[in-house]
Each structure stands twice: as C-alpha cells, then as structure tokens.
Amino acid sequence: DVKVTQSSRYLVKRTGEKVFLECVQDMDHENMFWYRQDPGLGLRLIYFSYDVKMKEKGDIPEGYSVSREKKERFSLILESASTNQTSMYLCASSLVRTQETQYFGPGTRLLVL
Amino acid sequence: AQKITQTQPGMFVQEKEAVTLDCTYDTSDQSYGLFWYKQPSSGEMIFLIYQGSYDEQNATEGRYSLNFQKARKSANLVISASQLGDSAMYFCAMREVSTGGGNKLTFGTGTQLKVEL
C-alpha cells in the first residue's frame, strides 16, 4: 500500500522561527511535491523534486526552500516564518513511469503566531 | 490564465441520486492527464480517477466516472448513487510539463459536495 507520512499533523510556531516540515514516502517514488492549501485557492505547488538533490520551483516558492538528500525524504523549510504562511501543507509523491498519480500525506496544519 | 476551472464552489445532492461536478481545463499540449481527488474533512487527499488525453473511453472506477469531452476541454466527475460518505471537497487537476521538464499537477479551487438524506 502507498504510504506518505508527514512529521506533524499540527504545528504552532512564532514569527521569525525557522520551520522544518518533513515528508517520507516508502514507495520508491522518484517525484515528490510540496503544496499549500488555502480556502478558495485550492492547492498551490511550492516546490517539487524529481530526483535526489534535484529541485524545481513551483508556483509560489517565495519564502520557502526544500531539501532532498535521500530519495524517500523531502523537506520543506520556512527560513523565517511569517503569519501569511499559516496554512495547510500537503506533501505528495509519484512514480515517473506510470500516469504519475500523486499520492498525498495527511497534511500539516501550520499556525504562525 | 486559470488552467483548471471548477465553477461550483458548493453542491448539494440527495442520497442515492447522481451528481456531476464540473471541471474545464486549458492547455495547448497534446498529451496531458486529468485527475480527480477527494478531500474529506479529515484533510487527506484521496485519488479517485484518471483520464489520459489519448484515452478513447471515459474512465470509470466503481461509482465514479469521468465525462471527458476533449473538444470542449471538460472533464466532469459523475458520482452515481451518492452516499453520505461522499460529502467532501473534490478537486480536479491536470498534469502538465513544467519549465524544467518535470511533470506537475495544477489544481482547481475545488467543489464542496454535501450529500443529504
């Protein structure tokens, strides 16, 4: 069974803190993705990676960075959290050689105070 | 320009009835893929159904079917015999090639479906 896990379901941080969101998949998928979801805006792609140490900016990369040192792990980093980064963050992964259906983790609800 | 458009922010349907959730898309690619995901109140995104642009038959998965009209660029989701557990947010998404050559999904804004007794 496909399994994508995220390190926290809920997180509360203060403005200016450095925040790490971790995502791990156990399906040997090449592609991994980070989205944020806000009411009325749907899911917006922040960054994605199609190989270890490879990354590509999505639609809203400002204020975020990512790290992929191992195939199974993709980290999203908020260098200096701001209140407008309060959101639901969803991680996903997909296999290249299929229709590339993305499988999602349970999400992390981040509140920045 | 918006690439995936879901014009229905909310829909109500009675239990056991069929419901159609609308999705239109915009692309100049010949090869693309369309997906529907369900997001219950718990938050996880559940893959429902996929349609490839070259697939001649409309995709079906159990009670879900995708009404694919290529010329009209629409990919509506049809849920037959609605159940209370179908109450959720539904997202339409399109796979497209990024500037770096990788594939990514672009999502619509979603339709909130409420199934009533």
The chain B residue lying nearest A42, using CA atoms, is: B109
Report which of A70, A82, A88 is spatially closest to residue A21, judged by C-alpha positions: A88
pLDDT at B97: 75
> Shortest CB distance from A56 goes to which of B45, B52, B98?
B98
Chain B interface disruption, residue of A6, A100, A110, most B CBs within 10 A:
A100
Of the candidates A56, A99, A104, which has its C-beta nearest B100's C-beta? A56
Residue B1 has pLDDT above 60, yes or no: no
* Cα-Cα end-to-end distance for chain B: 39
How deeply is A87 buried, as exposed, middle or buried, from its count of CB atoms within 10 A (0-12, 13-18, 19+)? buried
Reported confidence tier of residue B103, pLDDT bands at 50, 70, 90: confident
Q: Is the pLDDT of residue A96 over 70?
A: yes
Residue with tokens 């159990």: B62
Q: Tell me which residue of A69, A76, A59 sits closest to B98, measured CA to CA.
A: A59
Model confidence at B104, pLDDT cuts 50, 70, 90, reads confident
| Average of per-residue pLDDT values in chain A | 93
Region B74-82: what's the mean pLDDT? 97
Residues A42, B43: C-beta atoms closer than 8 Å = no
Q: Name the minimum distance, in Å, from the CA of B79 to any CA of chain A.
A: 20
CA distances from B28 to B5, B36, B67, B76 (A): 16, 20, 20, 19
- Please tell me the least confidently modeled range out of A17-31, A53-67, B92-106: B92-106
pLDDT, average across residues A94-112:
86
Measured CA to CA in angstroms, residue A28 lies from A25, A51, A60, A72, A94 at distances of 7, 11, 26, 7, 9
